[in-house]
């Protein structure tokens, strides 16, 4: 499931600026997601529920992109507001 989390984060960050800061934020997010996923499994969630709950905690991707030093851009396939 950790590979699925990585794939999801890769998709989210496809439109992020290609900067060192963006890479750091991406890896930090991935670490947090993996930790959350493993915590949820330890709390008795099944793998699907743990995956969905971990992803639900990502929040506003535009805010992450601003931290990366780029313009807010939605990745392909993500709905607009």
pLDDT tens, N- to C-terminus, the chain (81 residues): 789 999 999 998 888 888 888 899 899 999 999 999 999 999 999 999 999 999 998 877 777 777 776 544 444 454 444
Whole-number pLDDT of residue 66: 75
- The verdict on residue 60 lying in a domain is yes
pTM for this model (two decimals)? 0.76
- The verdict on residue 32 lying in a domain is yes
- The verdict on residue 73 lying in a domain is no
Which of 14, 2, 18 has the alpha carbon at shortest distance from 55? 2
Please give the angle made by the CA atoms of 39, 29 and 27, to the nearest 5 degrees. Answer: 115
- The verdict on residue 39 lying in a domain is yes
- The verdict on residue 54 lying in a domain is yes
- The verdict on residue 25 lying in a domain is yes
Domain that holds residue 12: 2-68
- The verdict on residue 79 lying in a domain is no
Q: Which residues contact 40 (CB under 8 A, 6 or more apart)?
A: 49, 50, 53, 54
- The verdict on residue 33 lying in a domain is yes
Please count the structural domains in the chain.
Answer: 1
């Amino acid at each position: 499931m950790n590979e699925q989390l990585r794939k999801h984060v890769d998709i989210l960050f496809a439109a992020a600026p290609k900067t060192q800061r963006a890479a750091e934020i991406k890896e930090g997010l991935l670490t947090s997601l993996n930790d959350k996923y493993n915590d949820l499994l330890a709390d008795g969630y099944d793998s699907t529920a743990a995956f969905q709950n971990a992803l639900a905690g990502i929040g506003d991707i535009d805010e992450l992109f601003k931290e990366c030093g780029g313009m807010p851009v939605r990745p392909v396939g993500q709905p607009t507001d």
